[in-house]
Every structure is written in structure tokens, then in C-alpha cells.
């Protein structure tokens, strides 16, 4: 760094507030001035392309990252030829890392044509020291790397890259606190996610999440309700409360508010019509929560309850803390107390040591539980997790054949569950519009999808739709016109 830059950088840093998020708003202003100068030199606006890999938590983080970049002055682009490309990475499966490396290599070629291009990497994959080291050695054209605990620092890190002129790495082992109230750009104007907690304490033997997302940290109920109120005032009708295990909400806060109590508080926000949540853990889903879902008209009658395996032996090896029998009893309790509820799940096929008998136990649960849908995955060995070093890894051909059989069973059960709604008229939130087909896609309270002819003006509205034709996982429907 030359002396003039050093003096400038030192002055900027000396004037920065110590408290968050004020500090980040300060650096947003600094970067806005820098970007404006660059845009003037280029004779055009500078563009950004934010690419999200992975779960809904990552998608929510990307809304904040996009909001910060927009506040700095970047304009949207759907091309990776943009002046700034940010990858918010996932590392749940090994092949997710391989995909990211391939994409970074492509960006390197694009940067040769535009040396001022900025390449930013963040998210779960960046919490792995070996991934960061590989990028340092093999992808030296990358500009900024940070992890999951400090996404709010994006503007400050971009400033450091400007003044240093070389790669900036800022990856934390754990979070120093929860920083919210930053610029954010919701993907939809009528529905939004709200982070209620971060991290996970469960340490399932196949899962890398606790290692890259850290330990559980709950936001205050007051802040969550305030965010819901702000969203409602800006037209949001549906919110999804997000956490790796929402059942654990509040256990590490002085307020002592349970997740069920939090649901009730959010439901009292005027303007919020629907509340969803993701994801509860079967081991500690309480009767209090079941009662709140059953009695609260705003809480959607949909419970996503990850099973992972139907074999009690495999569940123990997974460190899931429940048995097949306990899981089925919980599903029965949910369905008995919440009329019309839809239960969906996650299932892993081919976990180390899984036998044909273990697999058949999983299929048995699928048939007995009556899932509306199941998200099915082939086991992916994840370096750094206990399962990765377990003996009796299931051969790919055997796991693949079981996976196909599981899909058949899930399809049969899900279609049967969906068929029960044929001819019914249901409330539907209009979520996506396909202009070429003049077709609206919406979602029922129970998360079932329906496609129906409608005008684009209904996007974001909750309308009555008659479910006319069941297509297994979704319906075709007819809009009911009010008289």
C-alpha cells in the first residue's frame, strides 16, 4: 500500500464508529463514494451478481448481502460478467464445494478481461480452513473471503480490499454477537424470512452445520416481533421463522420465551396473515408447540419434521436422539391434534452401515407417517464429521438402487395425501406468475402447490382457489371469483 493510501485508510478507520450496526453504515457511505468515483471513470453504473448456494438460512443471508451492495450503489445483474460477483456458499455436501471451485475458475477467466472485477466468497464453505487455504493457493484472483459469523461486515471488508489492493480474509471461529438492522432486499414483497436464531447444538454425526454455523444463539423476541411489524408495514403477508432447530429457541436468552410463545407474539402483529417455520427437530418438539399450531389460525398447518432414517439403529448412529417408534408417535400426536395438518420430511439414504433391513424400516415409516412430501438425499460423506470415518460405507450402486425405491414409495404416499383435497376450495397465496402461460403459482396453508389461470395483479394476494386436478405433488386449480 502506498503512503497516500495508508494515510487515507488510517483516517477512514479512525473516524469509524465502534458500535454496530452504525459502523457498517459508515463503511457503506465510504464505499458509496468510492464506487461513485469508479462508475464515473467507467462512464456507467457498476453491477453485482449475488449467487446463493444451499439452504434458506443462506438465502436469508443473501438478502442482507444484496441489501448492503445495493446501498453502496451496485445495480443488479443476472450475469457473472458483473463488476462484482458474490458466492454465498454451502458445504453440507462434498460436491457443493466442487461446484464452487469450478465456478470460481470460470470467474478467474472473466477477471482477465476485467481486472477491476471483484470476486467475493462467503458462507459455510469459507468456515473450512482447508477451503480457504486452497483458494489462497489456487485462486489468487479472489478479492474477499469471509464466513458465516460476520456477513454484516461486507462493506468494511470491501473497503479493506480497496485500500490494501490484495486478498482480504476475515473468517471467525465463532460469532461475537448478533448484528441486525442492516440494509436488506427481500426477494418477494409479500413474504419474507426472519432469522430467530443462529447455529446448532445437535451435532448429528453426518452434519457439518454446527462446525460452520457455530453454537445456538437466539435473537430477542422483542427484536423479532419488531422486524415482523416492519415487514408487515411494508406489505409482507407471510413470514417464515428460520433457525437450524427452532425448538431450541430461547434456551440461551434471559427472556425465557419458548418457541411456541414466540409464534404467538408474532401472530399478534397486524398485517401478518401467515406464519411458517423451519426447521423443528423431532427430539424436542413440544406439546405446547403442537397446541399453538392447532389453535392459532395464522400459523400454517404444515410441520416439516426431518426423519433422516426409519431405523432406530441408524438413528442412534446419526446421533438423532429419538427412535422410529418415538417419531411415529409424534407424527400421530401432531395429526390427531392439528386437523388437516401436512407433515413433510427429510430422508437420507445410504448412511454408513445401513442394511436392507434398515432401509425397509425407512420405507415403513414413509407409509405409516403419510408424508405430504419428502426431500430425499443420498448420503454424502462430509470430511470433518464423525460419519465420514465410520466403517461399512454403503456402495454407491446399492444406495442408488434404494434411493429409486424410496422415491417410488414417497411418490405413492404423497399422491394419496394430496388427492384428499380434490374439489376443495382453499386459500392460496399467489407467489409466482408465468406471463407466457398466464398462469399463477400459489401455495396453500399446508404448503401444497397449485397452478391456476390468473392475472399478474393478484401476485402477493391470498385468494380462493378450487383444486380441480391432482397431479401428485401439486394441483391445477380454478380461481374463485368473488360475487
Same domain, 232 and 321: no
| CATH number of the domain that residue 405 is part of | 3.30.750.200
Count of domains in the chain? 4
Each residue's pLDDT tens digit, 245-258: 999 998 877 788 99
The answer as to whether 33 is a domain residue is: yes
Average pLDDT over residues 408-420: 94
Q: Are residues 273 and 231 in the same domain?
A: yes
Whether 483 shows a pLDDT value over 60: the answer reads: no
d(CA 455, CA 389) in angstroms, rounded, equals 54
Average pLDDT for 430-457: 94
Q: Provide the pLDDT confidence category of residue 178 given band limits of 50, 70 and 90.
A: confident
Residue 176 in domain? no
CATH number for the domain that contains residue 85: 3.40.50.280
Q: 113 and 241: one domain? A: no
- Boundary (domain end) residue, out of 398, 420, 442: 420
pLDDT of residue 218: 92
What gap in Å lies between CA 241 and CA 228, rounded to an integer?
10
The verdict on 153 and 208 lying in the same domain is: no
Global pTM?
Answer: 0.88
In angstroms, the CA 275 to CA 264 distance is 10
Shared domain for 347 and 325, answered yes or no, is: yes
The reply to whether 35 and 114 lie within a common domain is yes
Range of the domain at 122: 3-170
Contact 212, 151 (CB under 8 A): no
HEC secondary structure over 279-295: CCCHHHCCHHHHHHHHH
The answer to whether residues 150 and 7 belong to one domain is yes
Q: Which of 115, 140, 170 is the last residue of a domain?
A: 170
Give the residue-averaged pLDDT of 148-153. 93
Asked if the model's pLDDT at residue 432 lies above 80, the reply is: yes
**Same structural domain, 145 and 8:** yes
Q: Which among 58, 200, 69, 71 has a CA at the least distance from the CA of 125?
A: 58
The residue-averaged pLDDT of 282-297 equals 96
Backbone angles phi, psi at 380, to 5 degrees: -120, 115
Any idea what the CATH number is for the domain that residue 269 is in?
3.30.750.210
Co-location of 47 and 152 in the same domain:
yes
Amino acid at each position: 500500500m502506498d503512503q497516500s493510501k495508508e494515510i487515507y485508510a488510517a483516517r477512514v478507520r479512525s473516524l469509524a464508529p465502534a458500535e454496530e450496526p452504525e459502523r457498517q453504515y459508515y463503511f457503506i457511505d465510504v464505499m458509496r463514494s468510492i464506487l461513485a468515483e469508479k462508475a464515473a471513470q467507467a462512464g456507467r453504473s457498476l453491477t453485482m451478481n449475488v449467487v446463493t448456494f444451499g439452504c434458506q438460512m443462506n438465502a436469508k443471508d443473501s438478502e442482507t448481502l444484496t441489501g448492503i451492495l445495493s446501498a453502496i450503489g451496485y445495480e443488479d445483474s443476472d450475469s457473472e460478467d458483473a463488476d462484482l460477483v458474490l458466492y454465498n456458499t454451502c458445504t453440507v455436501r462434498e460436491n457443493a464445494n466442487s461446484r464452487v471451485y469450478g465456478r470460481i475458475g470460470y470467474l478467474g477467466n472473466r477477471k482477465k478481461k476485467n481486472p477491476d472485477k471483484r470476486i467475493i466468497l462467503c458462507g459455510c464453505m469459507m468456515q473450512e480452513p482447508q477451503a480457504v487455504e486452497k483458494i489462497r493457493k489456487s485462486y489468487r484472483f479472489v478479492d474477499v473471503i469471509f464466513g458465516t459469523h460476520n456477513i454484516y461486515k461486507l462493506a468494511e471488508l470491501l473497503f479493506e480490499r480497496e485500500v490494501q489492493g490484495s486478498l482480504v480474509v476475515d473468517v471467525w471461529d465463532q460469532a461475537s454477537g448478533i448484528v441486525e438492522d442492516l440494509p436488506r432486499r427481500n426477494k418477494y414483497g409479500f413474504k419474507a424470512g426472519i432469522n430467530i436464531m443462529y447455529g446448532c447444538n445437535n451435532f448429528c454425526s453426518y452434519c457439518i452445520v454446527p462446525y460452520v454455523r457455530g453454537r445456538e444463539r437466539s435473537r430477542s423476541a422483542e427484536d423479532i416481533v419488531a422486524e415482523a411489524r416492519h415487514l408487515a408495514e411494508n406489505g409482507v403477508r407471510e413470514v417464515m421463522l428460520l433457525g437450524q432447530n427452532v425448538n431450541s429457541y430461547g434456551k440461551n436468552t434471559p427472556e425465557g420465551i419458548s418457541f411456541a410463545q414466540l409464534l404467538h407474539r408474532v401472530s399478534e402483529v397486524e398485517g401478518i396473515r401467515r406464519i411458517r417455520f423451519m426447521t423443528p427437530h423431532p427430539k424436542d418438539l413440544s406439546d405446547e408447540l403442537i397446541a399453538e399450531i392447532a389453535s392459532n389460525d395464522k400459523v400454517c398447518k404444515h410441520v416439516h419434521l426431518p426423519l433422516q432414517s426409519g431405523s432406530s439403529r441408524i438413528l442412534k448412529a446419526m446421533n438423532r436422539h429419538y427412535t422410529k417408534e418415538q417419531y411415529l408417535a409424534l407424527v400421530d400426536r401432531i395429526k390427531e391434534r392439528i386437523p388437516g395438518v401436512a407433515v413433510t420430511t427429510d430422508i437420507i439414504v445410504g448412511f454408513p452401515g445401513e442394511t436392507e433391513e434398515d432401509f425397509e424400516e425407512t420405507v415403513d415409516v414413509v407409509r405409516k407417517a403419510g408424508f405430504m412430501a419428502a426431500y430425499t438425499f443420498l448420503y454424502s460423506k462430509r470430511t470433518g464429521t464423525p460419519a465420514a470415518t465410520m466403517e461399512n460405507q454403503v456402495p454407491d450402486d446399492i444406495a442408488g438402487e434404494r434411493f429409486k425405491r424410496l422415491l417410488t414409495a414417497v411418490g405413492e404416499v404423497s399422491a394419496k395425501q394430496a388427492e384428499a383435497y380434490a374439489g376443495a376450495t382453499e386459500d392460496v397465496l399467489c407467489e409466482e406468475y408465468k406471463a407466457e402461460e398466464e398462469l399463477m403459482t400459489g401455495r396453500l396453508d399446508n404448503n401444497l402447490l397449485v397452478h391456476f389461470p390468473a392475472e399478474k395483479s393478484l401476485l402477493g394476494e391470498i385468494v380462493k382457489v378450487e383444486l380441480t386436478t391432482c397431479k401428485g405433488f401439486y394441483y391445477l386449480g380454478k380461481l374463485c371469483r368473488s360475487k
